[in-house]
Chains A and B, each alone.
Chain A
Amino acid sequence: MTTDRRNFLKAFSVSLAGAPFLLGQVRPSLGPYQVLTDLEAETIIALCEQLIPEDEFGGATDAGVVYFFDKQLGPRGHYPDQLDYYRAELSVLNTSCEEQLGLRFAALKQVDQLSYLKTLEGGEVAHASWTSAMQRRFFRTLLDHTMQAYYGDPRHGGNKDYLSHFMMKI
């Protein structure tokens, strides 16, 4: 994905992201996604880019990892039964970010995103009803699917143009 496209996406997400909250419900996506809302997609993009960041090779965003999630959590994907789980967990995650840092995850500074994820990995985010075990489970699930998305076959939605295989010279 080019920088232009990423900025466009970012702007696109920011402009729409508040809407579902204002309406008090999750709306069907207006973006290029099949099942994810724009807020969910924006959150996944930001989370995954921290898990596999861009360096001299493209990161999760460039590899289109979000499209893996959108496809695999959809009705014809491999993990349709986990869509509701992701919905719930992403929502709690954003709520906890807003409570503690005043912004949803994707709007946080990079450094804050990184330290939030480390806290999540350890199950130490302070948020009523989101237990440590739930946090660690969500982190593990997200990490595993991100690796599948970035390193798996492009037919599953991620690893655009075999980006990761190019990086690994295979």
Chain B
Amino acid sequence: MSAKDKHVDVVVVGAGAGGGVVAKELATNGFQVALLERGRWVRYGVGSNDEMTSMRGPMKRSMGPDLEKNPRVRIEGEGADMKSYPMNGYSSHIASCVGSGTVSYGAMAWRFMEEDFKMESTYGKVEGSTLADWPISYDDLEPYYEKAEWEIGVSGDGDENPFSPPRRKGYPMPAFEQNDDGKVLAEACKRLGLNPFSIPMARNSVPYNGRPGCIRNRTCAGYACPVSAKNGTHNTVIPKAIASGNCDLRVGCQVVEVMVDDDGHARGVRYFDAENVERIQTADIVVVASSATETARLLLNSKSKKFPDGAGNNNDWVGRNLQGHAYTGANGFFPDEVHRFSGPGATLAICDYNHHNPGIIGGGLLANEFYKLPYQFSKMRPPKAARWGLEHKKFQRENFRKFAQVLGPIQEMPNFHSRVIAYEGKKDFWGSPVVGLSGSRHPLDRKHCKFLAEKAEEILKEAGATTTWQNVGGRGQGSGVHQVGTCRMGDDPSISVTNRYGQVHDIDNLFVADGSTFPTNAGFNPSLTILAVGYWIGEYMVNKYS
């Protein structure tokens, strides 16, 4: 018998970007909320300033998840030919902690462009792709972007980027200055007729919300901020939700099932608490916000009479259209030093290659990159350069500060076969079928990556880099920490999982409130849009159920 928790109005699964916002919207409007998070609070001292255990490092990551308890498999083939292979490392796992990716991210805070919400209308049908319009427009989401920028805290200049979608209000904090390589690259961009600007960042350029300004730490993307100047749900909306007295945040809780009754209503969730005791949390409303891979797995593992293949999956769309970003760009070495490690590294971007480039569907931003610390830098070598020995070592110390990268996320063409399944052949620590990942990117992604990588190399050369080479992405499966798409929202229930408010078709008290709902992923880091969608869904729920 499972232990039963006191009934609540709403149970939210996952305290990341989407779940944190929804929990706050509901709790501050009088709803009793249980917020269940499988990870724990990040403690800065526990390896967080360590390149090896950072979220970009090669070792077991300080923000988890625990890989032994959370195995994943790669699936090849279908039906009788299906084969699975264990996946090593952090295959599309996102930080498992209160705040999730908003603790570890680089904090670029992009609004998607108007075109990104109507890709099919803008570009037409794409063969082999499920490219679609969102059921909502940029205009629908604009007020919620604004809310995210002000409540979470974003530094930027609303007028600097000529391609920026229209906005009613500026940013709450001034833009960050350009760092050394950003200045050099910005001048080069201008000479090339491009439009460089300071990246909007969910990081305090000045003290904000009772927390200090950024100290220019070089360990930023992949790390927790030592002074909490980087803004996520863990230091903004989740504390507010808790302070309302209506939100019970429980960490170390692994949810294994959304319980759906025979009439097709969600009744709550079954989970294992931090002491590994099986419990049931009943609720009037269930919100799943566990990231595109884990949200899909949870729904697929939640079987019931009316939904024998998983909650909301009667049309076989749950887990489909998994997307991330195909990162692509170029690297360059300069004759002279181009930076002094004033962190975090990424300051400069251009949006000239987002939309309206002949022959390219979508495209992506380009930006200078977060700093490479010594281990990562040991892999940054021009083709054919020595990877070890005396030459390696000399190169390492002589060129550490002469290096710059220009990279960007290519908007992937979603496809039906890139997917998450709940793989029955392997169980996790709690006995649930694990995430199985299968499929691959659309071939156009590679073409688009080549396009953007050439542009990146052009900028580096113009900036004076004497050795440059491209790093063309676009192969393999789209997912990673920018994972979205597995429970896409849409007006037509036969080709989507939720409606425009994240409400699962046919289960009116079950919501999805994370990147899973995105039909497409734009050529921008998705976090601000996940936050905005969280506000959009949260407000709808408050209005509907108050």
A residues within 8 Å of B by Cβ?
Answer: 50-53, 55, 57, 59, 78, 114, 143-144, 146-148, 151-153, 155-156, 164-165, 167-170
Contact = CB atoms under 8 A, between A and B. Distances in A.
A83 B51 CA distance: 23
Interface of B: 47, 50-52, 58-60, 341, 373-375, 377-379, 387-390, 392-394, 396-397, 400
Contact of B397 (A57, A143, A156): A57
A153 B388 contact: no
A29 B397 CA distance: 36
B389 A51 contact: yes
A148 B57 CA distance: 10
Nearest 8 Cβ contacts at the A-B interface: A151-B374, A151-B375, A78-B59, A152-B52, A51-B388, A147-B378, A153-B50, A167-B397
A147 B377 CA distance: 10
A170 B374 contact: yes
Contacts of B47: 155
Contacts of B396: 167-168
Contact of A168 (B58, B389, B397): B397
Given A148-B52, A148-B59, A170-B341, A52 B393 contact: yes
Which interface residue of B47, B59, B393 has the most chain A CB atoms within 10 A?
B393
Nearest to A59: B393
A57 B378 contact: no
Contact of B374 (A146, A155, A165): A165
Contact of A55 (B379, B393, B400): B393
B390 A53 contact: yes
30 contacts: A50-B388, A50-B389, A52-B389, A52-B392, A53-B393, A55-B390, A55-B393, A57-B393, A78-B52, A114-B389, A144-B58, A148-B59, A151-B51, A151-B373, A151-B378, A152-B50, A152-B52, A152-B374, A153-B52, A155-B47, A155-B50, A156-B52, A164-B374, A167-B393, A167-B396, A168-B374, A168-B397, A169-B400, A170-B374, A170-B400
Given A147-B375, A147-B378, A151-B374, A156 B388 contact: no
B400 A168 contact: yes
A70 to B, nearest CB: 16
A156 to B, nearest CB: 6
Nearest to B394: A55
Contacts of B51: 151-153
A147 B440 CA distance: 31
Contacts of A156: 52, 59
Contacts of A165: 374
